[in-house]
Amino acid sequence: MFSKVDPEKAELVDGLIQDAAFLKAENSELRSRMAETGMVEFHPTNPRLQRTVEAAKQYLKNVNSYSVIVKTLNGVLMKDVIEDDDEFDKFLRERQGD
């Protein structure tokens, strides 16, 4: 994905890419655990009493961090992708040569 990005910037975001991969893997594990337990525990005799499972809290923190990382990486991709010439670029070069 980052092959067309300025090599210095690609190196700079390498840690973010690794963090994104780690968070994705961690959240996959947390999701599978929460499939068994749910995200909220209910009191056995009073369902109005509830508490969030610790794994759910961590999952939500990870999702927020992951989304910030993805947004940052996407920004780098959008700003620094070295685009190949398209037909319009070729047209402009030809016109300037006239």
What pLDDT, in 10s, does the model give residues 46-69? 989 999 999 999 999 999 999 999
Contact predicate 15/76, CB 8 Å: no
Write out the two tokens for 62. Answer: 């990870």
Q: Which domain holds residue 44?
A: 7-97
Does the residue 70 lie in any domain?
yes
**Cα(19)–Cα(69) distance, rounded to whole angstroms?**
8
27 domain residue, yes or no: yes
Partnered with residue 41 across adjacent β-strands are: 51
15, part of any domain: yes
Radius of gyration for the alpha carbons in the chain, expressed in angstroms and rounded: 23
Residue 2 included in any domain: no
- Percentage above 70 pLDDT, the chain: 88
In a domain, 92, yes or no: yes
* CA-to-CA dists, residue 33 to 5, 22, 76, angstroms: 37, 17, 34
The answer as to whether 1 is a domain residue is no
d(CA 96, CA 88): 12
Domain total in the chain:
1
Residue 86 lies in a domain: yes
